[in-house]
Every structure is written in C-alpha cells, then in structure tokens.
A and B are shown apart, each in its own frame.
Chain A
Amino acid sequence: MKDALRVGLMLGWKQLRHASIWTTMLITFVMMLTFLNLVAVSGILVGLIEGSVKAYSDQFTGDIFITTLQGEKHIEKSGDLLSTMATIPGVDAYTARYTEGVTIEANYRERRDPKALRDTVGTTIVGLDPEAEEVVTNLSRHLVEGEYLTPNDASYVMLGATLLEQYSPLGQGDDVGFPTLSDVHPGTRVRVTVGDATKEYIVKGILKTKVDEISRRIFVTDSEFVRLAGRTNLNVNEMAIRVEKDTPASRVKQSLIASGASEYALVRLSREGLPKFLIDVMNTFALLGNGISSIGLVVSSITIFIVVFVNAITRRKYIGILKGIGVRASAIELSYVFQSLLYVLAGSALALIIIYGLLVPFFNSHPIDFPFSDGILVAPLGSTLIKLVILIVATVIAGYIPAWMIIKRNTLDSILGR
C-alpha cells in the first residue's frame, strides 16, 4: 500500500502540475464557492437570529440576567444580592433596574378640546443608575437624538424610539393598531402616570435599537423612579451582570446560586432567557441553511465527478499502460483521489481565508440591517471544520468513483482504446 501511495502521489501531482492552469483555477474556484456556500448560507441564516440574541445580551440582559420569581413583584433582598454580587469572582459589572407599567402622554399642552383623544401610550418605565447601566449595556450608544441621563437628572426622561410616531416601524399614525406619540423630540414635555401619581418630564434623549426591551421602554434615574412610583423598599425588578472576558458566565451563575440568589430571584444566562420560539427559529434556520448548503455539496461532488471522469476517460489508454507495466489499480485510483483532495484543500483554504479574514470581521463591524436584527455571520471554528471534513469526504468519494469505474475496465481494452 505504501508503494501504491507513493506512486499515486507522484502520478497525481505530475498530472496536476501539467494540467491546464485555467481548469485547475476553475475547479479550485468551484470548491471555494462550495465551501463558502456551506459555511456562509447557514452562517448568515443563523446569524440573522444570532445577531438578535447577541444584541439582546449586549444591550439588555448582560451575560447573566436576574429577574423576579414567578408571582413576585420585586426581587426580595435586592440590596443583599447586589452586595454579594460585588464579591463574586468573575463579575465585571452589574446594573439594577426598577420597572413599572406606566402611561405616557404627549401634546397635552396643545390640546384645546378636553374631549379630544389624548395622545397616550402604555409602556414600561425603567429606573436605573445611568453610570452603572452604561458600563454594562453601553446604553448611550443607541441615542439617536438628544443626550444620555446623568445621575442627577430628576426631571428628564429618555424614550424608546418605537414609542414615537416618527420612528415607528409600523408606519405613521396609530391606525395600524400600535399607538405612538406624535411630534415628540428632545426638549418636549411629556406626562408620565404611575398608578395615581403623575409627573411631567422633559425628553432628554431618544434611544433606537432593534431590542424591543429598550426601544419600547422609557428611562429615568433610579432615584427619580423611587420618588415617582412611591416605592418604600429598594427592591429592584431586574439585574444585568457582565462577566469578565475570560470567565465562563455559567461559573458566575453557579456562584450566584450557591450564594442563595435563587431563593429570591430567577438567575439565568442570557441565552436561557430567550423565548422558545426564538430557539426554534434559530434551529430551523440552521437546518434550512444546511439543506441549502447540501445542494452546493452535491453540485461540487458532481463537478469533481465529471472532471475526474472526463480526465480518466481521456487518459484511459495511459491508465491501461500503467496497469500493463504493473502499476496496481490502487496507485492509479489514489492519483485521482489525490488530485481531488488537492482541489478541495486549495478551494477550502481560500474559502477559510475569505470567511475568517474577511467575511466574519466585516459582518461583525457592518451587520446586515434586517428589520428585526443586525445579522452577523456565525461561523464557529468547530462546525466549520466539520463542514470541511464533510466536503473533503464528499470530494474524495466523487473523485474515487469515476477513477475506479475507468480503472476496473479490461487492461488490454484500455491500451487499445476498445
């Protein structure tokens, strides 16, 4: 077998070296496109949702998201939990948020007729520490108008853009079933009502992002929230934790649970908090991507099959001669398998350079602007390598079969071209 391998490699390499450069480039190009198709199609389909998941974690939940237990209004002993959090190794930063359902009203100063329809929207108000929030979610990055809150801003509010008519993705006006506020900009006064309490705020900034939990909420400082909502305790509703770069979030989560956090709150990794339908959509897209990619795999296998078949059939006489002078069939088969292998390796190497050197960094810095998410290219190295192995196996088989078909023919018939 060693001799067959040696001779096969020599014959394959020599044949490839003297083959037409254009043919070689074309086949390599096809293999490159196939591998790109294998990785990129499913990668973008998964990335479409993954972008949304990443944004959810980056902008809202952090790496670990702590919420109220079912049936509870607040996270009990929030102060203790926050103190504990500060001592847990691996916690980089955290932010605590108060939330409450509110009604926000605009244009009440211009309304002359008391019976006319009020310009109101029901939403959630979030009370937060602007500085802590900034460290965890970099919230100010999503300002499209105005300025970010400072800790002393008692009369200011930031609004999510989806609440405003001019930013509503569903079109102008309230007639599409989703109410929005008209003509509200930074500096506009709005009225916020929580239960029986109502207070007027000046809009300081407008936040626009594809994460609904940001763009459908309004934001005031935590101290202002406590005043407005009349909270007598300081128990919060949400906490978002950012862990240190090299620390697994699951380890921090375990530490939190071990410290008793789960007795008072629901402690979840960012991904665990995703709705089931989103996970299902992600799996479906991955499946769909793999299905589409497998068509590419079949096409490339057929390409290699045809190339090797045509090559072998036009060299049938030489194949016969090689067999005639005592070269084993396995050596000749290996020469064709080796050529196929070189095509796939060259094509895949180019594709890998394009994927990891160009596409992944490009889509990370310039996500695709889908209506509901910023799509990125998801190409984990592990699954890319698995796809590479699949492509190599498919190509090697596609190269072997036609060679075997030609080589098994009668030696003398091959030599004489019968």
Chain B
Amino acid sequence: MIEVKNLVKNYGKGDVVTHVLRNINLRIKAGEFVAIMGKSGAGKSTLMYQMSLLDVPTSGTVTLDGIETAGLSEADRTLFRLNRLGYIFQDYALLPELSAAENVMVPLLMTGMSRAEGMTKAMRALDAVGLGHRLDNRPAQLSGGEQQRVSIARAIAEKPDILFADEPTANLDSVSGEAVIKVMQELHQKQGQTIVMVTHEDEYAAAADRIIHLEDGVIVSDTTVNGREGAK
C-alpha cells in the first residue's frame, strides 16, 4: 500500500543543509495501524508529510497503491489527497467560520457530491465519532477533544485509503486524548482502516499494530505490538 524507497529529505541549501530524513526504506500494508515515534526533531512528522503527499522528498520515492507519486503535478497531488487520503492535524485545523457539519462537508463537496448527500455523509461521520448532536456548532463552541473528533470525522467521511494523523492527541488532555485514540482504534478494528499516526506518547502508540522508531532521520526500530498483525 505504502512503499518508501531510499527517501531523503533535506532542508536548506549549501553549508546550512539539515538532513532530516536519511535513506528511509519502509513498507506499510493495507489495514495496518502504524505509529511513528521518536524524539522531537527525529523526522517523524517529516516522514509523514512525504508519505501523505503534503511535501516533496529531496530524493527517493513514495509509492501509494502502486502509484509512483514523484511524477504527480501539484494539482494531481491535491486530487490524490482528496480522493484517497485523510488527515488529522495536531491543532485540528478546522475552519472557524464553518459549523462542524460544514467542516466535514467541504472535501465531500469537492468530490462532486451534492450538498444533500454531503450533509448526510457528514452527519454519519460525526455520528461515528460521537458528535451527532453538535452538527451546527462552530469550532469555537467545541472543546479541544470535540474539535479533534470533528477533524477525524472530516478525514474519514469519504472513507480514505489511508488515514494520516499528525500527533492527534498533542493538544488534548488525557481523557480527550484517549477518546480520540479510541475512535481511531475502532476505525481500524471495525473497518480495517489503514492508519499512519505520528506520536511521541507510548501509551497512545500502544494502540497501533506496529511501531516505527526514528532517530536523527533514520529508522532505528520497527516492531509489532504484542504480536498484533493488522495488515491484510
């Protein structure tokens, strides 16, 4: 499903180049729940950005579902993200002027869905994360945990092939954090959702099938949690 080969990502130019990812090789199978861990600056978020087509690697390839992504134009990458990938950002990334339902609906409308159909799907997705009663509330009227669940609803509404989550619990208290992880776990277990989650918290990483540790841009360990095997 995701194949990363000889991936290198550098920032800067000339003498001030920072080598963030150094020759990463990685395969993630469909249906896996993978946690990417590491200290701050280890390159875990950068790795996720390359795999999720939010950024372009310096060298190496990222192949998603057999599609070599290096040759895609910016417009094609946007379309790919719309149709096949879902995102959960650390700071929820909801549009403040839209209601919860409208936030979920925006990408659905972009796929050509009618407003009525989009609203039905948005309601279903919000219901799935336990926010069926908060459809008309704007982000400012929701707690951090609720906002993150809206963000999850937006990411899963169109049933993406891969769900990427960048430190989804970082801004949440432990109760809200656990609730978010629980939602992701259910998605994975009940629907076989492929999930790639960046986190630095061990207890949340334990929800995953597989944990990849990064250190200074290099994978230092790649282990299966408690013998779980989520890949199809």
Partners in one complex: yes
Taking a contact as CB atoms under 8 Å apart, the answer to whether A329 and B54 are in contact is: no
Taking a contact as CB atoms under 8 Å apart, the answer to whether B97 and A18 are in contact is: yes
SS class, residues of chain B in contact with chain A: helix
Instruction: Return chain A residues, CB-CB under 8 Å to B106.
Output: 7, 10-11, 322, 325, 327
Taking a contact as CB atoms under 8 Å apart, the answer to whether A412 and B81 are in contact is: no
Given the known interface contacts A324-B87, A326-B81, A328-B75, the answer about A7 and B98 at a Cβ–Cβ threshold of 8 Å is: no
Taking a contact as CB atoms under 8 Å apart, the answer to whether A325 and B82 are in contact is: yes
Taking a contact as CB atoms under 8 Å apart, the answer to whether B93 and A3 are in contact is: no
B92, closest chain A residue (CB): A321
Taking a contact as CB atoms under 8 Å apart, the answer to whether B110 and A7 are in contact is: yes
| Contact of B102 with A by CB under 8 A | yes
| Contact of B72 with A by CB under 8 A | no
Given the known interface contacts A14-B97, A411-B54, A415-B89, the answer about A6 and B78 at a Cβ–Cβ threshold of 8 Å is: no
Instruction: Return chain A residues, CB-CB under 8 Å to B85.
Output: 326
SS class, residues of chain A in contact with chain B: helix
B82, closest chain A residue (CB): A326
Given the known interface contacts A15-B97, A321-B89, A321-B93, the answer about A327 and B54 at a Cβ–Cβ threshold of 8 Å is: no
Please, how many angstroms separate the alpha-carbon atoms of A63 and B178 in the complex? Answer: 88
| Contact of B112 with A by CB under 8 A | yes
Given the known interface contacts A3-B109, A3-B110, the answer about A415 and B93 at a Cβ–Cβ threshold of 8 Å is: yes
- Report B53-95 CB contacts with A as 1/0, cut-off 8 Å: 0110000000000000000000100110111010101000101
- Report A80-122 CB contacts with B as 1/0, cut-off 8 Å: 0000000000000000000000000000000000000000000
The 4 closest A-B pairs by CB, nearest first: A326-B82, A18-B97, A321-B93, A326-B81
Listed in ascending order, the chain A residues whose CB lies under 8 Å from chain B are 2-4, 6-7, 10-11, 14-15, 17-18, 317-318, 321-329, 331, 410-412, 415
Q: A325-B87, A412-B55, A415-B93 are in contact. List 17 more A-B contacts (CB 8 A).
A: A7-B106, A7-B110, A10-B109, A14-B98, A14-B102, A15-B97, A18-B97, A321-B89, A322-B95, A323-B78, A324-B81, A326-B79, A327-B78, A327-B82, A327-B106, A328-B79, A415-B54
6 residue pairs A–B, Cβ–Cβ below 8 Å: A7-B106, A14-B98, A324-B87, A325-B81, A410-B55, A412-B54
